[in-house]
Amino acid sequence: MPKTAVITARVEPELKQEVEEVLSQVGLTMSQAMTLYLRQIVYRRAIPFELRAPNRETLAALAEARHPEKLPAYENVNELFDALEK
């Protein structure tokens, strides 16, 4: 069957670039990866991975990551390890 259907999805440009880099490392194009994903949905009759709501710890980490200016900065790895030991 000829491939004539088009799917359009809006994503952050950085996400698209990261995904394309990963896919190129495994020899796939975005189109091939999307086809694999869609075929798995049909085969499994479900999303091919577990969907879960994030727990409080994950939500807190995500919120913190949105404000990198509030995260501590270290001059070197020894400073980081010292801070982790506290």
Instruction: Render pLDDT for 8-66 as a digit per residue (tens, 0 to 9).
Output: 999 999 999 999 999 999 999 999 999 999 999 999 999 999 988 889 998 988 888 88
Specify if 64 maps to a domain: yes
Specify if 15 maps to a domain: no
Q: What is the pLDDT of residue 47?
A: 94
User: In sequence order, what E strands does the chain have?
Assistant: none
Specify if 70 maps to a domain: yes
Specify if 6 maps to a domain: no
Q: What residues contact 10, with CB distance under 8 A and at least 6 apart?
A: none
Q: Is the pLDDT of residue 72 over 90?
A: no
Range of the domain at 77: 56-85
Is the Cβ–Cβ distance between 62 and 51 less than 8 Å?
A: no
Give this prediction's pTM. Answer: 0.60
